Amino acid sequence: MASVTLKNLHKKFGHTTVVNNVNVEIADGEFLVFVGPSGCGKTTTLRMVAGLESISDGEIHIGNSLVNDLPPGDRDVAMVFQNYALYSHMTVSRNLGFALQARGVVDREILHRVQRVAKMLDLEEMLERKPKQLSGGQRQRVALGRAVIRNPKVFLMDEPLSNLDALLRLQTRKELIELTSDLKNTVIYVTHDQVEAMTMGHRLAVMNKGEVVQLDTPEKVFNEPANRFVAEFIGSPPMNFLEGQVSEKSQKKILKTDSFDLVLSESMNLISGSSVIMGFRPHDVKLVSEGSLGGRVTVVETLGAEKLIYLQVGKNSLSILVPATEKIRSGDHLQFEINKDYLHLFNRDDEKRIIFSEPN
C-alpha cells in the first residue's frame, strides 16, 4: 500500500501531446478515478503509472520511490485490463498464480493463495477451465483475482466494467467497491462513464484533451464544476447552457439571453456588459402555473420515476426533469422557473466557472 504522485507528467507521441502536465497526488488507500471522454489521455496516464508507456517528461512516485525508469514488474502494481488480457493458454488457476510464479513464490504458497482468492471471488468451480470457457463476468473476476492475489501497492484498473452488460456492470460495480474498501489498497481507476466515476471514486480527476481540468470529490465536481466541459460531462441528463450578456436595470443585474431575460440574485455581482454562459441542470427547474419563462414541449421521454421534457424556448432547446406524474404531451406550453441557487455561470472566453465570494 502506498501513495502515488504524478508530477508535471507529459506524454508525447511524435508531435502530439496526449498527456499535458498532469499533477495528481493520490493518498495511500485512496480510490481515484480518471474520467473523461475517449482520447482525453486517461488510459495513457494509467499506462505510464503501470510502466507500459514511457514518460516524455515529469515524474511518477509510488510510495517514496521514483519509478520513472522501473520496469512494470518492479513497480509492485497490478493492472486490470479493459479486455481482461487473460493468458489464453493457461487455466484459471495458473492465470491467478502467474504473478506469484513469476516472482518465484513456492508452489504450495501459490496454491494456497489461489484457493483463497478463488473462494473470495467465487471462482472455485472453474479453476481448471481455460479463459475461453468462461463467461464475460467470470473472466472479469479472474482478471480481478489476478490483481488481488498479489496484494500490490496499487491497483490500476482500465475500464474494467465496460465489457459487461448493464445489469452485470451494476452488480460488479458494487462488488468492486466492497472489495477495494475491504482491501484498502490504493486504486487508480479509469473510466469514461461518469456514473461509474461518481459512485466509485473518493476523488475524480476529470480529464479533457490531455489535461486534468478538475480534481475533486464527486460532490464538488457535480455541484461546482470548474468549467463548462466538466459541467457538461458530469451529470445525466447533461446540463443546459445558454449564452448571455449581463446588464443592469433598476439596480438589478439581469442576464439577457437570446431566449429570455433572467434576474440574477444579488450575490452574483457581475460587471455589466460581461459575456457569460449560464448553465443549469434539468432537475433544477420547477414547473409553475404562472412565470416569466415558458416554452413549447417538443419531445417527452419517460425515464420511469421521472420524465425528461425537451422544451423549445425561443431559439434554444432546453431539457427539464419533472416527476412522471405530470401529464405533459408534446405541443403543450409550459411555464417554469430556474432554481437560482444552482445556477452555474462560466466566462464566455475561457469557459471557466465564475466564482462569487460568499456574501457577508
Partner 1 sequence: MNKQDFRSRDARLGFLLVLPAVILVILVVILPIISGIQISFTSQRVVGSEYEFIGPKNYFELFGDKQFIASLGKSAIWVLANGFFQTLAALLIALLLNQPFRGQNFVRTWIILPWAVPAAVTAILWRWMFDASAGIVNTTMKGMDLVQKPVLFLANPDIAGASLTFVNSWRYIPFLTIIFLASLASVPEEEYEAAQVDGANAWLQFKTITFPNLLPTLTVLGLVGTLWASNVFDIIWMMTRGGPGDATTTVPVLMYDMAFYGYNISKATAGAIIFLFLLIIFAFVFIFANRKQFVVASETFQDLSK
Taking CB under 8 A as the rule, does residue 255 contact partner 1?
no
Choose the stretch contacting partner 1; rule: CB under 8 A; options: 44-52, 183-191, 260-268, 273-281. 44-52
Question: Which of 229, 208, 205 has its CA nearest to residue 217?
Answer: 205
Q: Measure the CA–CA gap between 253 and 194, rounded to whole angstroms.
A: 34
Q: Which residue from 98, 222, 260, 342 is in contact with partner 1, where contact means CB under 8 A?
A: 98
Cβ closest to partner 1, residue 99 vs residue 127: 99
Smallest separation (angstroms) from partner 1 to the CB of 84:
8
Cell of 279: 448553465
Choose the stretch contacting partner 1; rule: CB under 8 A; options: 19-27, 65-73, 134-142, 257-265. 65-73
Q: What b/e sequence results for 153-176 when a residue is b if at least 16 CB atoms lie within 10 Å of its CB, and e otherwise?
A: bbbbbbbbbebbeeeebeebbeeb
Q: Which residue from 89, 112, 119, 184 is in contact with partner 1, where contact means CB under 8 A?
A: 89
Q: Measure the CA–CA gap between 260 and 52, rounded to whole angstroms.
A: 52
Residue 290: other Cβ atoms inside 10 A: 7
Q: Which residue from 29, 58, 63, 72 is in contact with partner 1, where contact means CB under 8 A?
A: 72
Cell of 320: 427539464
Q: Measure the CA–CA gap between 1 and 28, rounded to whole angstroms.
A: 6
Taking CB under 8 A as the rule, does residue 88 contact partner 1?
yes
Smallest separation (angstroms) from partner 1 to the CB of 123:
17
Smallest separation (angstroms) from partner 1 to the CB of 154:
11
Smallest separation (angstroms) from partner 1 to the CB of 103:
6
Smallest separation (angstroms) from partner 1 to the CB of 168:
21
Contact of 32 with 188, CB cutoff 8 Å: yes
Contact of 191 with 159, CB cutoff 8 Å: yes
Question: Which of 281, 309, 284 has its CA nearest to residue 297?
Answer: 309
Sheet strands side by side (includes 316-323): 285-288, 333-338, 293-302, 306-313, 316-323
Cell of 135: 463467461
Q: Which residue from 70, 85, 254, 297 is in contact with partner 1, where contact means CB under 8 A?
A: 85
Choose the stretch contacting partner 1; rule: CB under 8 A; options: 93-101, 168-176, 184-192, 323-331. 93-101
Binding mask 126-155 for partner 1 (x = CB under 8 A): --------------------x---x-----
Choose the stretch contacting partner 1; rule: CB under 8 A; options: 24-32, 82-90, 219-227, 238-246. 82-90
Choose the stretch contacting partner 1; rule: CB under 8 A; options: 98-106, 220-228, 311-319, 347-355. 98-106
CA angle 326, 196, 182 (to 5 degrees): 125
Question: Which of 31, 4, 29 has its CA nearest to residue 201?
Answer: 31
Long-range contacts of 349-354, Cβ-Cβ distance < 8 Å, separation of 24 or more: 349/275, 350/227, 351/227, 351/228, 351/229, 351/277, 352/226, 352/227, 353/224, 353/225, 353/226, 353/227, 353/231, 354/270, 354/276
Cβ closest to partner 1, residue 150 vs residue 228: 150
Q: Which residue from 18, 20, 22, 81 is in contact with partner 1, where contact means CB under 8 A?
A: 81
Q: Which residue from 8, 12, 59, 103 is in contact with partner 1, where contact means CB under 8 A?
A: 103
Smallest separation (angstroms) from partner 1 to the CB of 201:
22
Residues engaged in binding partner 1 (CB under 8 A):
50-52, 71-74, 77-79, 81, 83, 85-90, 98-99, 101-103, 146, 150, 156
